[in-house]
Amino acid sequence: MAVSTSDFRNGLKIELDGVPYNITYFQHVKPGKGGAFVRTKLKSLLSGKVIDKRFRAGEKVEVADIEERKMQYLYQDGESLIFMDNQTYDQTPFGAETVGDAVKFLKENLDVDVLFWNDKPINIELPNFVVAAVAQCEPGEKGDTASNVTKPATLETGAVVQVPLFIKEGESIRVDTRSGEYVERVS
């Protein structure tokens, strides 16, 4: 299905040169001289690379055949990560390149959104926050509280996060998966 540039909006997924893109920014521009155009920033759903592209006003582009499914991460089997579709209970193996950096926040039984392009998984979207236990961290130095002092902590998922000095091994913390930053301690 083709859409016109007048239908552009943030989050619209389009296909250019056989590659799916997500529109992250668009602006209709009508200069004093010449024809109107639309300036966009497009993020590749395959590589994550952002490009700037101009379209003539009224130009048509194809909408990408993107399907989003809720899936649950089950376990790692060698190099493959096994996810289960929450509707059909089908298990699908994913390669590490499909998951990318999100692998450091994956816990068993975590629900994620998986993007499929032409029935092939291309990307996963983690929830904005995950709760994980601190597997290893050094104890904080007493009296070292003059400023916002942090220390590295390794989570049960393998991610290393900077946490405040009062966090101890075995405690659960909430982490922002978009930035990889500590949010709060969870009891």
User: Model confidence over 6-62: pLDDT tens digits?
Assistant: 899 998 999 999 899 999 999 999 988 888 999 999 998 887 789 999 999 889 999
Confidence of residue 142 (pLDDT cuts 50, 70, 90): low
Right CATH for 2-63 from 3.90.1150.110, 2.60.40.10, 2.30.30.30, 3.30.70.260: 2.30.30.30
CATH number of 66-125: 2.40.50.140
- pTM given for the model: 0.71
Topology alike, domains 66-125 and 129-186:
yes
The residues, ordered by sequence, that sit 6+ positions from 174 with a Cβ below 8 Å of its Cβ are: 129, 130, 131, 182, 183, 184, 185, 186
- Other CB atoms within a 10 A radius of the CB of residue 72 amount to 16
Report the topology of domain 129-186. Answer: OB fold (Dihydrolipoamide Acetyltransferase, E2P) (2.40.50)
